[in-house]
């Protein structure tokens, strides 16, 4: 199980890089409704007709009155900024509470609800397609209007009625309700919460995600608070461009997470250097000593131990090293996931074809039995499909 701190960092980084724009596209209407409540109009200033003007001349301003006026204007500006940010803060607080609670629940039931890697990949792919629909809807493409999921009409009416009130609790309640309208990236983070298998870890990843989206939501909320509807439309189009790019990234990650394809070009330095090292001086296809025996290299990425079993060692830090292996087919094989200060999504290791899901120890070894493989390629990745690799099993060429 990944640490709560690691998942918190994962959630924050995902929210910053992708979640803010995606969630703004889906929840922007709720945000606008929460923060653009009209304050009561100020009372009109009393008229100053000639008859009501004082006959005496105004006394000259004392020295320092200008500085006092500037201080007063600065204080008024700060008060206005705080007034504009207060409903945004309430909205985000409500959103943080609901998503953290949901993350904890998903973590508790994670063991029972945990889908297979390919099921997760299909859900992630569906989330990417959904994001494309949201982006097209933001561009004003009418053909997708009926395909985009929307909150029930009664929910929308309730939110609009609530938005007319001046209570600070109103934006908080609307923010809390955003959990009912998730974006594509939110769905993927909910899957991470499910796979965490812990209430604390699940709450951490969802809380981190909301914290990561907070800067963009704050900026948008402030603009909604201060700008016109015309500018809001321009922001929607800009958000659509960002969401469309994120949708492509999400679908590419889903295809990699499912083990169907890889878009990562392997580098020469990533290949296992001595794939068929045999420990104990028995037969093999690695370096030979002066007497023709095999050189024992216990730390080789791929080796055959004294019992004749093949051992593949994958080092897991924040990345996978190496990412490409060449191994023997027809040999009982064990994959060793060697955690070396591991962190991030790399710890959520999967082999989609075999349905393998393992949480790598931060420092230590996790063993996965691969059985006796036939010639072919076995792909692995992190649960999010962002980091990938492959093991190529080759038959005996002799």
The string of DSSP codes covering 334-358 is EEEEEEES--GGGGEEEEGGGTEEE
Return the pLDDT at 288: 39
- State the CB neighbour count (10 A cutoff) for residue 56: 6
Per-residue pLDDT, averaged over 69-80, amounts to 55
Tokens of 379: 């792909």
> 207 falls in which pLDDT band (50, 70, 90)?
very high
CATH architecture of 268-287+294-394: Sandwich (2.60)
In the chain, where are the structural domains located? Answer: 4-38+79-257, 268-287+294-394
Residue 137, pLDDT > 70, answer: yes
Per-residue pLDDT, averaged over 148-161, amounts to 59
Return the pLDDT at 241: 80
The chain-wide mean pLDDT, for the chain, equals 74
Higher per-residue confidence, 184 vs 281: 184
Residues 6+ apart with CB under 8 A from 185: 14, 15, 18, 19, 22, 23, 127, 131, 209, 246, 250
């Amino acid at each position: 199980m990944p640490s709560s701190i690691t998942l918190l960092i994962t959630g924050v980084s995902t929210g910053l890089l992708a979640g803010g724009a995606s969630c703004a596209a889906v929840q922007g209407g709720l945000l606008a409704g929460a923060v653009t409540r009209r304050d009561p109009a100020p009372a009109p200033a009393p008229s100053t007709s000639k008859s009501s003007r004082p006959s005496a001349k105004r006394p000259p301003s004392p020295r320092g009155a200008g500085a006092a006026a500037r201080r007063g204007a600065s204080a008024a500006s700060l008060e206005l900024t705080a007034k504009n940010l207060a409903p945004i803060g309430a909205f985000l607080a409500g959103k943080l509470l609901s998503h953290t609670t949901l993350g904890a629940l998903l973590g508790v039931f994670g063991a029972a609800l945990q889908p297979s890697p390919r099921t997760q990949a299909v859900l992630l792919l569906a989330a990417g397609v959904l994001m494309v629909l949201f982006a097209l809807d933001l561009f004003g493409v009418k053909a997708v209007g009926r395909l985009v999921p929307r909150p029930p009409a009664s929910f929308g009416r309730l939110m609009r009625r609530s938005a007319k009130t001046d209570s600070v609790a109103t934006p908080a309640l609307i923010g809390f309700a955003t959990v009912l309208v998730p974006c594509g990236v939110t769905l993927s983070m909910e899957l991470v919460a499910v796979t965490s298998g812990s209430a604390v870890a699940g709450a951490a990843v969802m809380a981190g995600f909301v914290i990561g989206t907070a800067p963009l939501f704050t900026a948008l909320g402030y603009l909604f608070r201060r700008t016109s509807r015309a500018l809001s439309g321009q922001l929607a189009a800009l958000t659509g461009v960002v969401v469309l790019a994120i949708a492509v990234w999400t679908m590419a990650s889903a295809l990699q997470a499912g083990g169907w394809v890889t878009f990562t070009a392997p580098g020469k330095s990533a290949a296992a250097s001595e794939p068929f090292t045999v420990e104990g001086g028995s037969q093999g296809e690695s370096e030979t000593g002066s007497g023709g025996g095999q050189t024992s290299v216990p730390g080789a990425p791929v080796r055959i131990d004294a019992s004749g079993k093949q051992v593949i060692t994958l080092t897991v830090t924040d990345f996978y090293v190496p990412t490409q292996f060449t191994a023997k087919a027809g040999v009982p094989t064990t994959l060793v996931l060697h955690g070396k200060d591991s962190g991030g999504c790399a710890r959520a290791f999967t082999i989609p074809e075999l349905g393998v899901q393992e949480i790598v120890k931060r420092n230590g070894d996790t063993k996965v039995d691969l059985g006796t493989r036939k010639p072919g390629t076995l792909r692995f990745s992190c649960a999010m499909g962002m980091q990938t690799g492959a093991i190529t099993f080759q038959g005996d060429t002799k």
